Amino acid sequence: MNRDSLLTVYDRLTGLVEKLPGGLQKPILRELTPIRQVFLEQRPPRLMLVGNPMGTAPEILASLGALELETGGSDNGWRSYRVSGRGEILILDARQDVPEEHVRTGLARQHPDVVLFLEPPDAPAKDWKAAVARCRLVESPVIAISLSSALRLHGLLAAEPTLAKRVPRVLVTGDPAAVEAICAALPLPAQLEFARLTNARRAQAHIAGSLLKSFSAVCGVIGVQPIPLADMPILTTLQTLMVGMIIHTTGRPFSARLVAEFLGALGFNIGAGLVLREGARAIVRVVPIWGNAVSGFIAGAGTYAIGKAAIAYFIEETPITETRRIFRSLLPRLGKRKYPPELPPA
């Protein structure tokens, strides 16, 4: 699922939303805004390295748990690194052995999203001051990374209170939380690509969780509609798109067949959706106001159950039998069902 196909599906989705009553369009489109920011405005993250001159950019990121990166081209000091099929990252190397002119040329081109402050070896005064000076060239958040002790780096930063205020985390090389901390410091449009190319599972789950919240809210609003069957094409499109985007978050190739197989393995299909939705419609005939509320709840709950199962299976690599249990525990009961064979590993 590339950006063009995502944009096409998103445009179709907004077209469907525009067919809903006017009062519902605005809140639904508001819930879709984060989806557009993360998925449709997706761009490569930009990192600036300062401090320790030892090691190449891919080696440094690999020491923090990132996947192996391929070196790409250079543009005014910014060099691209990528993982095939997952995305790319732009790096401006501004460590103390890099000429000042090179650094300023890169910053004139574009500013970094995050600065990686790599503790200078043994932190001699000259190297420390040079690293701090280069941090001051930009106002981006700073992630400080120690080669030995976070406590030692905290002590050095205490002497620079202005810089210390910009440091949300001090990490030690090899800390598995490093890529997650970097991802959290990035702006929304850059988070997805970083999470995909570093295989940062917690970051992927966080992005997918935001996605799940938006889709569940939208489906709940649509489910309140009192017209039988009229909302099913929209709900089905939303739920399928949500699963596809969760798969996309992991860096795996997306296909409609994969989504269909996943939903089939859960035992949830359009027929099951109709049972849930039209059961709620029956309540409307008895208690009109509360019936609509229940109908909206069921639409939102079904979407939430599908999304949580997709996160468990595709991101957390939960076995399909356990994923199915998670799904069934969150979904209003459909009665006893015979489930299909196991899916292959995610």
pLDDT digits (tens, 9 = 90+) for 79-136: 999 888 788 999 999 987 888 899 999 999 999 999 998 887 666 667 788 888 888 8
Beta strands in the chain (DSSP E): 46-51, 70-75, 78-83, 87-93, 114-118, 142-146, 169-172
* Range name among 44-53, 231-240, 278-287, 326-335 with the lowest pLDDT average: 278-287
Which structure tokens are listed for 54? 């030892």
Contact 324, 309 (CB under 8 A): yes
**Across the strands, what pairs with 51?**
118
Q: What is the pLDDT of residue 205?
A: 93
User: What value does the mean pLDDT take over residues 168-185?
Assistant: 81
For tokens 């005014």, the residue is: 76
Query: In whole angstroms, what is the distance from residue 69 CA to residue 11 CA?
Result: 33
Instruction: Return the pLDDT at 226.
Output: 52
Q: Does residue 185 surpass a pLDDT of 80?
A: yes
What is the percent of the chain with per-residue pLDDT over 70, rounded to a whole number? 77
Cα separation, 62 vs 68, whole angstroms: 6
pLDDT in tens, 24-39: 777 777 777 777 777 7
Mean pLDDT of the chain: 78
Q: Which pLDDT belongs to residue 298?
A: 67
Residue 240 has a CB neighbour count (10 Å cut-off) of 16
Identify the pLDDT of residue 272: 45
What is the chain's Cα-based Rg? 24
At residue 269, the pLDDT reads: 54
The C-alpha angle 76, 162, 141, rounded to 5 degrees, equals: 45
Largest Cα span, the chain = 79
pTM for the predicted model, two decimal places = 0.76
Buried b (16+ CB within 10 A) or exposed e, 54-81: eeebbebbebbbbbebeeeeeeebbbbb
Domain(s) of CATH 3.40.50.300: residues in the chain: 46-185
Asked if CATH classification 3.30.420.110 holds for the domain at 46-185, the reply, yes or no, is no
What angle is formed at CA 61 by the lines to CA 59 and CA 65, rounded to 5 degrees? 110
What pLDDT, on a 0 to 100 scale, did the predictor assign at position 237? 75
Check residue 270 and give its pLDDT. Answer: 45
Average pLDDT, integer, range 48-72: 84
